[in-house]
Each structure stands twice: as C-alpha cells, then as structure tokens.
Amino acid sequence: MTPASAIPASATQARTRTNALVAKLWNYCNVLRDNGLSTIEYIEQLSYLLFLKMADEIASDPFTEKEAMAVVPSAYDWRSLVRLQGEALEQHYRDILGALGKGTGTTLSTIFAEAQNRITKPALLEKLVKDLIGRDDWTIQGTDLKGDAYEGLLAKGGEDTKTGAGQYFTPRALIDAMVAVTQPRPDDTISDPACGTGGFLIAAHHHIREHHLGDLSRDERLALGAGRIRGTELVTGTARLAAMNMLLHGIGDADGPSLITVDDALAEKPTRHASLVLANPPFGRKSAITVVGNDGNVENEDIAYDRDDFRATTTNKQLNFLQHIMSLLAMNGRAAVVLPDNVLFEGGAGEKVRRRLLDEFDLHTILRLPTGIFYAGGVKANVLFFEKKPPRADGGPNTSTVWVYDFRTGKHFTLRQRPLRRDDLDGFVESYLPGKPRAERVESERFRPFTYAELMARDKVNLDVTWLRDPSLDDADSLLPPAVIAREIVEDLQAALAEFAAIAESLDNPVGGASEPIPPRLSLAE
C-alpha cells in the first residue's frame, strides 16, 4: 500500500474533502433513517435534489454553454423550490418529481422516472434542501469530488441488507483490477448489461481519461460520454442512481440521451454490439423467467423469452447473462464477467454453455475470488475473461489455454474488519500481464495454465479447478480468529443452501437438463 507521505498533497486534500462531504451526507442520512427511510431511499432523494441544484448552478454560470431552461423549466427548477418552506415546499417538491418524470429517453427522465417523495415530514425536507444540499456549490467542487462523494454513499448503501441493496454493488477494488487488466480504450464501445449503479462504466471512463486524455481531440473527448459507454439496468430505482452517478462523474448530458437503459437485458437480442463488456450479473441462480434457446421449447412457463442466439434453455440467471454477453460482444471484443461457482461446474445447460465458451471464444483467464468481499452473503464467485473470435480455418477450438489464478485459497476478507483493497489484487494484475502477449505469462504458486484438452476431459467440462490447500488447515499456529472462522462457516452454509434450493427447483421444473445432480467440485490436489 502506498504510504500517506507518498501521496501528492493535492490527492490527500481531495480525499479529505471527499471524506468530509460523504460524512456530512451520511450523518444526515442517520436523521432520515429515524424517519423510516432506508439508505437507498435516502440516496434517491439526494439524487433528485442534487440534480436540481446542479442544473441551477450551471444556469447561473456566466461562462456556461448551456441554457438551464432547456433542462429544467423555471416552474420546476431549484429556485422555485428553495423560496418555499414547510408544507408548501413539500407539495411543490411532489409536483416537481411528477413533472420531470414524464419524459422518456433522456438522462433527466431516467433520474426522475417514477420518482416519489419519501420524506414525509416537511421540516426534514426543508433542512435537506436548505441546510445540506443548498449550502454547497456542487458544480464548482470538481467532478471527481462530487462524484466520489456520491459513490461513497452508494457503497454505504450496499450495507443496507434489509433492502437487498448489496446485490447492486461490486467492490471497487475488484472493479479497478478488472479494468486495469482489460485496459479500456477511447475507441471501445463499452457495455454493462446489468449495470447496477454504474461502477464498471465509471471506472472504465476514468481509465480512458487517465491514460488517453492527452491524445484525444475535443470531439473524441465528447464522444466518450455520448454513447460509447452504456449500461442496462432492470430496476428503475437503481437505474436512476446509475444515471446520477455517471452524470456526477462527467459522463453524459442531463438533457441528452440517457446512457442507462431501463430494461431486462435478457429480453431481446442485442441490437448494438460492444468491444468491451464489464459486468457482475445479479446474484441468485433461479429466475422467474425461462430464456428459451435453440435447443428446444419449454411448456408450462408463465413467461419465456425466445432467444435463438442462445444454445441452452435454462432459468439460471447467470448462465443466461453469460449467453447474452456472448451475443453482445462484437467480433474480437473482450469481456470480464463476475460469475458464481455454479456456472463453472453445473451440468445440463451449464455444460453446453461452457463447451461453447471454450470452442467459439477464447476463455483465457479465470480469477477465483475469496468469500467475504460481497455484500450478499454466501457468494463464491469468479471472474471470467474471454474474447470473441471468428471460427478457425482448421475448425479447431478458439481456446487453447486457460490460466487460473487462485485468489481464494488462504485468503480471508470481511466487509468491515478486513475489506478487500486494490493492492490485494496486485499479484493477479501483475501475473495477468495486461497489454502483453499471454505467451509471456509465468506459472506461479497461484497462477497455473490448463490446456483445452485437459479441461474438456474433465467431468461435464468442470472449470472449477483447485490445486492449493489452505495453509490454516495444516498449521495450528495459523488458525484464524474465531470471528473469521464463524463468518466463513456461515458463508459456506449459505452457499450450500443456495445450491440445494436450486437443485430442488430444477427437480420440480426440469429445463434443458438442469435436473441433473450437480457434481462435486473436482480438485487437482486430490
């Protein structure tokens, strides 16, 4: 980890200001929680008010290139709100939310879609408007500051387990490592089909600005926020957080086309392809919707999507997202996708998808992740890195070697006492050799190559490969603290229950061979 003394003063000051702003916003959240608001509901209210305040600041700037009237009509702008108080302010706020949520297709309409006032006490709303939001100049604080502050709030929102908000958040350390090795470029079209609050899209945009900004023309810089970076999110409330998050980070325009589409990404074939897909599809294996592939039809389903570009019919959400991403990728496009362990070893539809992935794509790297890094409990996940390739002239498979990095065995993290940090993944990033030929990779204790033939010979093409043994199992002196052991037991039980529930569901409604028993994980150490 970089020592504090090595961090530039400007970076330290920015971090201090960001932390202070997050603390200010979060402290007020505690007050609103006593009024019955969840963290996510509170952040939604902030999104509405922050937008109105920033639109007013832009309109008041004599050097601005935009007319505020084109974004927010004067009857519903910030100044029309702050001149009121009490019940009159609350009623006008409701009118604003209703009026601005009527449009479609713009960032404005995405932020205010189905918006409702959740702050039932006029006095609390007035304090939020005049004492918290109104006292800061958000547009002059800098994109990084206000964007990082908002993202800090979103991260805290992931801790709101009662509302299940954690499923929309991926640890920033993991996002940054995935972006570091995939190296987004200015000419990339970048997509996340399950974007949550937009973390992958923002990190990709930041990487491009950090590494390529000096080489871009003004038009090329503007193009970064004009459609090359896009996301899809099913949940309206989460989509509004993503749209606001991107806007605060300088991506897109308030009155321009929305870069976040509110829809079910699995419902239809992609109409636009991406050269880079970064994604962490929602946790949970069973979906209420069956996606029917070209391997047959399913009867007695209430809802079914017809996707003839899929090879396997299944209700497993992660398998369907993986198939969707395979279709979403442009030729020679690359993807980095977080997926749970069952995708690597499940039979039936899972085996079909894995065979296609190895044959038609170049699945070159798998990162095995430890438990304790996601807000959703009991998650054992991996990151699959693959590229879409044209068929080979000799008819052979596009995957020749899969490199597996075991970042799980012997690694122990918790969300509070020992959270995952970016430097924890330095070993993986260095082993990956981003930007260099994979032929130069070097085998190590945690990084091993497996040939196509070796993997295809495994039962049901099981890609859940292990070879390391946890040192704590052999060394009495290395026993973990009781709290960590207890947490890992709970997570193992949660993961096992999820798998047993999925088996029971598949036995009740067999789809695409999903009723086959799930094979035990195969270990090279056994």
* Pairing relationship of beta strands 314-316 and 286-292 according to DSSP bridges: antiparallel
Give the residues across from 404 on adjacent strands: 366, 448
Give the distance between the most distant pair of CA atoms in the chain. Answer: 75
Average pLDDT, the chain: 82
Average pLDDT over residues 157-169: 62
* 3-state helix, strand and coil shares in percent for the chain, rounded to the nearest 5: 45, 15, 40
Close Cβ partners of 67 (under 8 Å, ≥ 6 residues apart):
59
pLDDT tens-digit series, residues 414-465: 887 888 999 999 999 999 999 999 999 999 999 999 999 999 999 999 999 9
Two structure tokens written together for 198 = 């937009």
Which fold, 169-267+274-279? Rossmann fold (3.40.50)
**What Cα–Cα distance (Å) separates residue 36 from each residue in 86, 118, 123?**
19, 9, 15
The H-or-E segment that residue 50 falls in is helix 39-60
User: Would you list the DSSP string of 412-425?
Assistant: ---SSSS---GGGG
Q: 155 pLDDT exceeds 90?
A: no
User: Hey, what amino acid is at 86?
Assistant: G
Residues 407, 446: contact at Cβ < 8 Å? yes
Give the residues across from 226 on adjacent strands: none
Tell me the CATH architecture of domain 9-139. Up-down Bundle (1.20)
pLDDT tens-digit series, residues 186-233: 999 999 999 999 999 999 999 999 999 888 887 777 777 667 899 999
Instruction: Quote the pTM value.
Output: 0.84
pLDDT tens-digit series, residues 38-84: 778 888 888 898 889 888 887 776 655 544 334 788 899 999 999 99
Instruction: Give 475 or 228, the one with higher predicted confidence.
Output: 228
Beta strands across the sheet bearing 304-306: 304-306, 286-292, 314-316
pLDDT tens-digit series, residues 111-132: 999 999 988 889 989 988 988 8
Residues 110, 260: contact at Cβ < 8 Å? yes
- Residue span(s) of the chain under CATH 1.20.1260.30 come to 9-139
Tell me yes or no: is domain 335-526 CATH 3.40.50.150: yes
Beta strands across the sheet bearing 190-192: 260-262, 229-233, 190-192, 274-279, 329-340, 381-388, 361-368, 401-406, 447-451
- Residue span(s) of the chain under CATH 3.40.50.150 come to 169-267+274-279, 335-526
